[in-house]
């Protein structure tokens, strides 16, 4: 069996992939993640997932490489990783009482065929109405500065929501395991 590489530096994605009980290593891809003019959220994350898998596969042509990316959209605006406390607070203030759509893509490079297959999962989240003081406490406590949309659903961020609708709850955290398992199954890495 080919080695498996997760093209990511995300500890959240690595933790999710461990759930499938397959051996893998991680390598951070080096790609430009700038959104192109006119890209929809789905087109954007599909492209990034594909480019991450391709970038790592170029140096490891015999490996099955998994790439993934995610973005959040609120009121037509893409919410990336905030990076700072101030931006995290601003993103959560914008999301307060609003629906937010997260799109998470996963790509699998198949070294036998030379093809990369990509799938995407949409998660709809409705935020509770949040006071600024509650948002500031949350950001201070959970430190979601490296999370698209400024929340950690696997942590205290779950308390910010009224509802979640998705076909794969893992997509909310950053790696859609149902879609990934199906993609891996197509190339003979089948999980029970």
pLDDT in tens, 61-71: 999 999 999 99
Count CB atoms within 10 A of the CB of residue 190: 10
Q: Please give the Cα distance from 119 to 45 (Å, whole number).
A: 10
Helix ranges (DSSP H) in 22-168: 41-59, 85-95, 132-142
The tally of CA atoms less than 13 A away on the side-chain side of residue 188 is 8
Topology classification of domain 4-187: Maf protein (3.90.950)
Catalytic option among 23, 69, 110, 124: 69
Secondary element (H or E) of residue 129 = none
pLDDT in tens, 138-192: 999 999 999 889 999 988 999 999 999 999 999 999 999 999 999 999 988 865 5
* Residue 69 is a catalytic residue: yes
Tokens of 67: 């790439």
Indicate whether 42 pLDDT > 80. Answer: yes
pLDDT of residue 32: 94
Residue boundaries of the structural domains of the chain: 4-187
pLDDT of residue 80: 84
Instruction: Please give the model's pTM, rounded to 2 decimal places.
Output: 0.92
Q: Please give the Cα distance from 112 to 30 (Å, whole number).
A: 23
């Amino acid at each position: 069996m080919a080695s498996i590489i997760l093209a990511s530096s995300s500890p959240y994605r690595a933790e999710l992939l461990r759930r499938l009980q397959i051996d893998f290593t991680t390598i951070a891809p080096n790609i430009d993640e700038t959104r192109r003019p006119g890209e929809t959220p789905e087109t954007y994350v599909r492209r990034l997932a594909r480019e991450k898998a391709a970038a790592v596969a170029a140096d490891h042509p015999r490996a099955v490489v998994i790439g993934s990316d995610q973005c959040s959209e609120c009121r037509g605006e893409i919410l990336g990783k905030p990076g700072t406390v101030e931006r995290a607070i601003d993103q959560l203030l914008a999301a307060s009482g609003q629906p937010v759509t997260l799109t998470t893509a996963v790509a699998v490079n198949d070294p036998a065929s030379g093809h990369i297959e990509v799938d995407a999962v949409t998660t709809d989240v409705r935020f509770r109405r949040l006071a600024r003081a509650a948002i500031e406490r949350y950001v201070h406590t959970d430190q979601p500065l490296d999370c698209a949309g400024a929340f950690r659903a696997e942590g205290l961020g779950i308390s910010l929501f009224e509802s979640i609708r998705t076909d794969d709850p893992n997509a909310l955290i950053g790696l859609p395991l149902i879609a990934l398992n199906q993609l891996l199954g197509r190339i003979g890495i089948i999980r029970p």
